[in-house]
Structure 1
Amino acid sequence: MTHRIAVIAGDGAGPEVVAEARKAVDALGLALEWHDLPWGTAHYQETGAMMPPDALDVVRGYDAVVLGAVGDPSVPDHVTLWGLLLPLRQRLDLWANVRPARLLDGVPSPLAARPEVDMLFVRENTEGEYSGVGGRAHAGLPLEVGLETSVFTRAGIRRVVEYAFTLAAKRRGLVTSATKSNASRYGYVLWDEVVDEVAAVHPDVRSERVLVDALAARMVRSPMSLDVVVASNLFGDVLTDIAAELQGGMGMAASASVAPGADTPGIFEPVHGSAPDIAGKGIANPFGAIWSAVLMLEHLGEQDAADRLMRAVEAVCREGIRTRDVGGSATTSEVGDAVAARV
Structure 2
Amino acid sequence: MPHSQSPSPMQAQATPDTAALRRLSEDRLKTDYRSAFSVDADRILHSLAYTRYIDKTQVFSLIHNDHLTHRVLHVQLVSKIGRTIGRFLGLNEDLIEAIALGHDIGHPPFGHDGEGFLSEICLSCGIGTFQHNAQSVQFLDKVERKGRGWNLSLQTLDGILCHDGEIHDIELFPMKNKDFSVHEREIQALIQTPEIPLTPMTPEGCVMRMADTIGYIGRDMEDAIRIGIITREDLPAEAVKVLGHTNGSIVYRLVTDVLTHSGQRGEIRFSSGVSHALLLLREFNLKAIYHNPIIKKHLSGVRNLFHLLFERFMTDLAHKKDSSPLFTHFLAHMDEGYVKTHRDAEIVRDFIAGMTDRYFLEQCPPDKRPTAIRMG
The alignment's TM-score, normalised by the length of structure 2, stands at 0.25
Name whichever structure is richer in strand by fraction.
Answer: 1
**Which protein shows a greater Rg?**
2
Name whichever structure is richer in helix by fraction.
Answer: 2
